[in-house]
């Protein structure tokens, strides 16, 4: 129970950091709303003539896609580093548990030997 409480205390700050407010989520979602830009692009290309306006819209859509790609890359990187930290943490806990288990086995073995010694000495 004590180790569970310690684990909960250990994970709480990380979990609080990853929780985003609805406003933050909304602003992230707005980066992926490409529909207005694509709609504008389709309207400018319907005429079939290439002019400054259509070039500007193409540039706008391209920069929007680039922003989306950067955002997705940064999310992917941060998730990757979080996963690595989590896995490393779990690996450390596993190794610690294995060491404790080994110590317990050794103590039980010593207890068993001392109990056997006492039993041999009794008449």
Whether residue 1 is contained in a domain is answered as no
Indicate the number of domains in the chain: 1
Token duo for residue 67: 């922003």
Confidence of residue 28 (pLDDT cuts 50, 70, 90): low
Whether 4 maps to a domain, the answer reads: no
Whether 60 maps to a domain, the answer reads yes
Q: What is the spatial distance between Cα 39 and Cα 56, in angstroms, rounded to a whole number?
A: 14
pTM score of the predicted model: 0.39
Residue range(s) defining the domain that contains residue 113: 32-120
* Residue 72: inside a domain: yes
- Long-range pairs for 16-20: beta carbons < 8 A, 24 or more residues apart: 18/82
pLDDT in tens, 48-99: 777 777 788 888 888 888 888 888 888 888 777 777 778 888 899 999 999 9
Residue 10 lies in a domain: no
């Amino acid at each position: 129970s004590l180790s569970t409480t310690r684990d909960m205390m250990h994970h709480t700050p990380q979990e609080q950091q990853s929780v985003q407010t609805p406003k933050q989520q909304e602003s992230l979602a707005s980066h992926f709303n490409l529909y207005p830009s694509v709609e504008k692009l389709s309207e400018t290309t319907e005429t079939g003539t290439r002019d400054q306006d259509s070039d500007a819209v193409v540039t706008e859509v391209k920069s929007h896609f680039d922003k989306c790609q950067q955002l997705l890359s940064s999310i992917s990187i941060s998730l990757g580093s979080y996963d690595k930290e989590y896995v490393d943490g779990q690996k450390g806990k596993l190794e610690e548990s294995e060491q404790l288990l080994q110590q317990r086995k050794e103590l039980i073995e010593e207890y068993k030997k001392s109990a056997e010694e006492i039993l041999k000495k009794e008449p």
